[in-house]
Amino acid sequence: MTVRLQQQPFDQGEEITAHAPSGGQAGAAVHFVGTMRDVNAGDDVVAMELEHYPGMTERELERVVDEAAARWQLLDTLVIHRYGEIHPGEPIVLVAVWSGHRSEAFEGARYIIDILKTKAPFWKKETLADGGQRWVEPHFGEGRPS
């Protein structure tokens, strides 16, 4: 199980290939990549600054991954989450889950991404096309973790 926070963009294909379990145990793999949109709340967005607390954020993400592994039979998990300045079209987060069966992989991946979206300690400030800036309200409670 790997959790990594980084500023630089990542290549999802390279990351998944490098991390995928070897051998024949993994009968299923689910990969989710979240990218930055250029529109939010009806406004054009040109950049986003994603802030976090080093140490605390990693521990929370590791806790979520460990919780998913305890609930579903996951063989391995890779979570990469960016911070710093991000531009439209760039990847923000990668969640990759491997399991023996598709239902376990789908459920584990969905749980991880829903928790990341709703409860992970990140703060987002958007820069709008008109030059204005605004903090994005967190979407607590919108996910469907069960």
- Of the two residues 67 and 22, the one the predictor is more confident about is 67
Q: How far apart are alpha carbons 13 and 93 in whole angstroms?
A: 13
pLDDT of residue 142: 46
Structure letter (DSSP) for residue 75: E
Q: Does residue 114 contact residue 144 with C-beta atoms inside 8 Å?
A: yes
Checking if the pLDDT of 131 tops 80, the result is: yes
**Domains by residue range for the chain, with CATH:** 2-17+27-130 (3.90.1170.40)
Give the pTM.
Answer: 0.90
In the structure, what pLDDT confidence band is assigned to residue 73 with cuts at 50, 70 and 90?
very high
